Amino acid sequence: MNGEQKPVEALSEDEAAAELQRLVAAIAEYDRLYYQDDAPGVTDAEYDALRRRNLAIETRFPALKRPDSPTERVGAKPAGKFSKVRHSLPMLSLDNAFNDGDVGDFVDRIRRFLGLAADAPVVLTAEPKIDGLSASLRYENGRLVVGATRGDGTVGEEITANLRTMDDIPKKLPDGVPDVVEVRGEVYMSHADFAALNKRMEESGRVFANPRNAAAGSLRQLDPAITAERPLKFFAYGWGEMSAMPAGTQMGMVETFAAWGFSISPLMKVFNGTSELLEHYRKIEAQRAGLGYDIDGVVYKVDDLALQERLGFASRFPRWAIAHKFPAEKATTVLEDIEIQVGRTGALTPVAKLRPVTVGGVVVSNATLHNEDYIKGIGRDGEPIRDGKDIRAGDTVTVQRAGDVIPQVIDVDLSQRRVDSKPFEFPTTCPECGSDAVREHDEKTGRVDAVRRCTGGLICPAQAIERLKHFVSRGAFDIEGLGDKQVDVFYKDGLIAHPSDIFTLRERDERSLKKLKDREGFGETSAKKLFDSIDARRSVELYRFIYGLGIRHVGEGTAKLLARTYGNWASVEEAARSAHDENSDARANLLAIDGIGATAVEAIAQFFAEDHNLEELKRLLENVTPQDVVAVQSDSPVAGKTVVFTGSLEQMSRDEAKAMAERLGAKVSGSVSSKTDLVVAGPGAGSKLKKAAELGVDTTDEDGWFKLIGR
């Protein structure tokens, strides 16, 4: 999403027309992904924001409203693999409320439309908004004859055979029902069933992102036998065509469905006015974690069906109903346990083990608790955070996920805390090796490090495995075919314990009775590919070699600075060894490098003062040659310029492009700003290319880039 959109009130007519064209295309594509492919392209919050902006522009410029406007349609056209079914009555979606004020406005609009006094009671139902796939079930003379998806609201996909496999859906209704009955509701999957399904599917290499995708994908199988194997459930909440109405209220109709054998939400209640609706909303939100299935809000409907008919419809929404959505990217769940994980630098990180909950379209079962002080409710400055609330196993907590950021626990509901709960005691010894775990003291700042670390170093198995994973990672040696899973297995089986062992693996395998090719998951071809991948990294860029060592505080950027400054490994090693002397010229020179601070220099000095590390370095250098750095061309056409690469590069990889630009003296950035000098765009370039145009930044394609640099 574009974070710097121009306010709607500031748009000119031409800008508004262009913006509507973009929004129509974007929303249509996201509808297709969601309704046809069961693979949402954006979060619910981002999608809702697009629709709200589209509506706001149409409201300000009504003459610009397009024939294909998303305000005139629901969902997406049915996919081609199922036959089509035209709904006898449209399956419309609901308008959304995002806060208490929106709900109050909704109730006030009902009063005004019906000509009621400002304080006249309005009776409404409230029920959880199930996050699944909408379906319509048509019964004739009590027998299920057609089942269909929502589709675009007018035409859906015929999936009768699949729906017949579900236990929650009656195949025959009791005697005495109307001749034509069309029951509508939501097909969904519980959290427990979703987890079990994904566990079974891991073997195939394809798992579902969340229960909604799992339900949709299971229901839209061409083979009903596959659907029958999936644990799908159905809640009834509405209707389409009815030859006779068995009740005069919304609640009465849903209770009738229950009497006919359908499952209905036990949380559906009838209320009188806004305050009661909001109170029930809060209760459902608090219970959300324990429901066992995903909901993303609460739906309010006028209870009296005669009033519903009078209110009618506005555009694609009924005037008598609205969905009060939960806050985006947040959810409430139960923190079942707190586990301590040991990272490659020895950091002890507390992880919340959560009752699975969907946050922003992703099922979350783990969340970070940052550090010891965060659990206690203490911030970096010693001031309380979360009002000083500590976090304990068994607590009901609020989890937040923003974009790709690791989910985190941000609040605790003390009203839900068990009477027997106890504060979490952070360990003072490493759970992996039993070594002391300490918090370092910074003599310069006087602060105690927020992170507790294992002092076991190279004897700690957790650190050894993580160091190996770091060594072979993409930013370091980037050994294809040697991922986290293989490192875990090879370490546990005693094949590799140190990075140097990786490069003697082929030689040792040739002498071994049990060959790699005979191990589970390998064969002759895959074993050879792995050995070849290892051999291909016996000569590696200097910065990758430095970064791969896993020195604390030496990230990829610092490794590149060291490589560019010293040019070759011998010079880097000499400077690093000499830097242990705080008064040495070598230490002063390291500190003088722009971008490398005292903390990193101290970590480098400590690493090279440790005999175990030097022994491993010697073994590693017997098998690997760090490449000398090619001098930066200060006279190149792009020297000193900031370059951004975007889109799908076809003549070079992204890493190759970045390395090439840096050798030519350019700075490579991941985002476009007013400081960007050039954007190199491949096919599929999107928002970055658009932003470059808005800012007047020069752009070119790959051919133009090679022509510019004289290649």
Residues in the chain: 711
| Tokens (6 digits) for 140 | 């004739």
AA identity, residue 555:
G
In this structure, what are the phi and psi dihedrals at residue 269, rounded to the nearest 5 degrees? Answer: -135, 165
User: Which of 65, 77, 129, 560 is labelled catalytic?
Assistant: 129
AA identity, residue 668:
V
Classify residue 385 by its DSSP letter.
S
Q: Please work out, in degrees rounded to the nearest 5, the angle formed at the alpha carbon of residue 289 by the alpha carbons of 265 and 226.
A: 65
On whether the CB atoms of residues 523 and 610 are closer than 8 A, the answer is no
Q: How many whole angstroms separate alpha carbon 307 and alpha carbon 319?
A: 10
Q: What does each C-alpha distance from 293 to 192, 272, 356, 487 come to in angstroms?
A: 8, 27, 10, 36
- Known active-site residue 129: yes
Q: Which helix (H) or strand (E) holds 365?
A: strand 362-368
**Pick from 260, 267, 171, 168: nearest CA to 219:** 168
Q: Which helix (H) or strand (E) holds 355?
A: strand 348-359
3-state secondary structure 579-622: CCCCCCHHHHHHHHCCCCCHHHHHHHHHHHHCHHHHHHHHHHHC
Q: How many helices (H) and strands (E) does the chain have?
A: 25, 26
DSSP string, 627-696: EPPPPP-TTSTTTT-EEEEES--SSS-HHHHHHHHHHTTPEEESS--TT--EEEE-TT--HHHHHHHHHT
**Pick from 284, 233, 236: nearest CA to 257:** 236
Q: How many whole angstroms separate alpha carbon 427 and alpha carbon 652?
A: 48
**Pick from 453, 506, 511, 702: nearest CA to 623:** 506
Structure-derived torsion over alpha carbons of residues 307, 310, 314, 315, reported in degrees to the nearest 10: 110
DSSP string, 91-131: -----EE-SHHHHHHHHHHHHHHHT--TT---EEEEEEEE-
Q: How many whole angstroms separate alpha carbon 214 and alpha carbon 545?
A: 43
Which residue in the block uniquely carries the two structure tokens 């030496």?
Answer: 554
Q: What does each C-alpha distance from 22 to 28, 53, 456, 513, 681 come to in angstroms?
A: 10, 11, 56, 63, 20
**Pick from 311, 324, 390, 251: nearest CA to 105:** 324
Which residue in the block uniquely carries the two structure tokens 């792009």?
Answer: 638
Q: Please work out, in degrees rounded to the nearest 5, the angle formed at the alpha carbon of residue 424 by the alpha carbons of 423 and 429.
A: 145
**Residues 6 or more apart from 270 whose CB is under 8 A from it?**
123, 124, 125, 251, 303
**Pick from 324, 322, 319, 323: nearest CA to 114:** 319
Strand-pairing partners, residue 646, are: 681
**Pick from 303, 401, 316: nearest CA to 361:** 401
Q: What does each C-alpha distance from 264 to 185, 271, 296, 427, 443 come to in angstroms?
A: 9, 18, 17, 47, 63
Strand-pairing partners, residue 330, are: 400
| Tokens (6 digits) for 486 | 């293989």
Is 313 strand, coil or helix? strand
Active-site amino acid positions: 129
